[in-house]
């Protein structure tokens, strides 16, 4: 929300209404036709407006707050440029309560409806995470935690690589926005980092590696026919390497091999995923950022069920597997990448490294 402060300055404020505020009621099955019972196809314009309040309760609220009398005094011809003219005054009132300010101080806001039910551990053994928006806040969490954990051993001081994570908005609506994966944000960040270090941008990108992490489809126990017989990721089975010949994922053999090495160092399992040949395939921001930057990229993700449902499910073990694997990637990219001689030794590194050998480092 944009709020006007006491000194007249306009300030951005984050707002989250934690109580259940709206509800989109579905039509009772008794009132539906036979065709409607076989498929769920609501009209997005007329069937999905949320219920905020009834007219009678709204009128009582207006009278109790004096808004009804004020509206009559201003008259129908009065021009209202406040946020109340663009959003329901009752909603503005709720937002003002959450922000601890007057409704008149709110200039504008951008709100989204979301499930207010908190996340929970479910199952007889509490082995599943049930939550809204696991896709893709699950990946955002494990990446952030892994970046933090990678610093615990002090290895960053001797590391010649930059450890970073990038989280974009609007992935589900095409990524074409000022904060999306198709924006200049990623490239601008790389440019500024390279400039601050006195490094040449193109060589920096050529030596970089990107792990595009977006939640993956676990094999559904009730719909086994929807999955490829030889590529069936399972819950608790570790991060999933995603492959697609139509470049819906950015994974190639080089990136996949390097990622498997990170998992080997971390002591974590890795799974493989290919969509069935007769089925459509989703995509990620991996191909977008790989095409825009030229950085070697691999697409992975923790497995989950019920993707894009209001309540999604993933396994608790896969949270741990993901963090450990990403920690290993942060700490060991330098040594692993030096041993990959696709075009001969990297001329930008005087030391080509000792190769992978068979020794596995520990402590990840």
3-state secondary structure of 38: helix
Quote the tokens at residue 293: 């930057």
pLDDT for 74: 54
Could you give the CA distance from residue 199 to residue 219 in angstroms, rounded to a whole number?
A: 45
CA 291-329-348 angle, to 5 degrees, is 65
Could you give the CA distance from residue 249 to residue 286 in angstroms, rounded to a whole number?
A: 6
pLDDT for 34: 87
Q: What are the φ and ψ backbone dihedral angles of 162, each rounded to 5 degrees? A: -95, 130
Q: Flag residues of the chain having pLDDT under 50.
A: 77, 358-359, 361-364
Q: Are strands 239-243 and 270-274 parallel, antiparallel or unpaired?
A: parallel
Bond prior to 136 in cis (omega within 30° of 0): yes
Give Cα 243 distance to the centre of its chain: 20
339: nearest Cα among 330, 351, 352, 349? 352
Helices and strands (H and E) in the chain: how many: 10, 12
pLDDT for 364: 44
Could you give the CA distance from residue 14 to residue 1 in angstroms, rounded to a whole number?
A: 6
Q: How many CA atoms lie within 13 A of 23 on its CB side?
A: 8
Partners of 212 in the beta sheet? Answer: 299
271: nearest Cα among 224, 247, 304? 304
92: nearest Cα among 80, 76, 108? 108
Type and span of the H or E element at 216: strand 216-217
Task: Report yes or no: 286 and 297 within 8 Å, Cβ to Cβ.
Answer: yes
Tens-place pLDDT, residues 199-215: 899 988 988 999 999 99
pLDDT for 280: 83
pLDDT for 93: 93
Could you give the CA distance from residue 36 to residue 26 in angstroms, rounded to a whole number?
A: 12
pLDDT for 85: 84
Type and span of the H or E element at 286: helix 286-293
Could you give the CA distance from residue 299 to residue 239 in angstroms, rounded to a whole number?
A: 10
Q: How many CA atoms lie within 13 A of 335 on its CB side?
A: 18
Task: Report yes or no: 155 and 331 within 8 Å, Cβ to Cβ.
Answer: yes
Which pTM was predicted? 0.87
pLDDT for 71: 54
């Amino acid at each position: 929300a944009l709020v006007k402060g006491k000194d007249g300055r306009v300030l951005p404020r984050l707002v989250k209404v934690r109580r259940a505020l709206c509800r989109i009621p579905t039509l009772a099955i008794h009132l539906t036709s036979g065709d409607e019972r076989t498929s769920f196809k609501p009209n997005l314009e007329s069937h999905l407006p949320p219920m905020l309040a009834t007219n009678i309760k709204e009128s009582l609220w207006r009278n109790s707050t004096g808004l009804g009398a004020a509206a009559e005094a201003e008259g129908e011809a009065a021009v209202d440029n406040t946020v109340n003219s663009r959003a329901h005054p009752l909603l503005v009132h709720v937002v003002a309560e959450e922000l601890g300010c007057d409704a008149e101080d709110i200039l504008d806001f951008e709100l989204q409806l979301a499930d207010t039910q908190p996340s929970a551990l479910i199952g007889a053994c509490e082995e599943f995470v049930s939550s809204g928006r696991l896709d893709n806040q699950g990946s955002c969490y494990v990446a952030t935690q892994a970046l933090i954990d990678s610093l615990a051993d002090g290895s960053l001081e001797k590391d010649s690589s930059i450890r970073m994570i990038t989280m974009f908005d609007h992935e589900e609506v095409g990524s074409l926005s000022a904060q999306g994966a198709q924006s200049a944000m990623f490239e601008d960040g790389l440019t500024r980092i390279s400039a601050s270090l006195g490094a040449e941008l193109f060589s920096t990108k050529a030596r970089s590696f990107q792990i595009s992490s977006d939640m993956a489809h676990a094999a559904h126990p009730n719909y086994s026919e929807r999955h490829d017989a030889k590529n069936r990721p399972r819950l608790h089975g570790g991060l999933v390497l995603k492959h697609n010949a139509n470049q819906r994922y950015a994974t190639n053999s080089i990136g996949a091999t390097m990622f498997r090495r990170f998992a080997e160092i971390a002591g974590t399992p890795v799974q493989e995923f290919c969509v069935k040949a007769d089925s459509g395939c989703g995509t990620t921001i991996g191909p977008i950022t790989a095409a825009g930057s030229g950085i070697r990229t691999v697409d992975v993700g923790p497995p989950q069920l019920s993707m894009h449902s209001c309540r999604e499910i993933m396994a608790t073990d896969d949270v741990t597997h993901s963090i450990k694997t990403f920690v290993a990637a942060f700490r060991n990219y330098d040594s692993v990448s030096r041993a990959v001689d696709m075009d001969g030794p990297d001329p930008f590194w005087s030391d080509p490294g000792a190769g992978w050998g068979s020794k596995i480092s520990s402590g990840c």
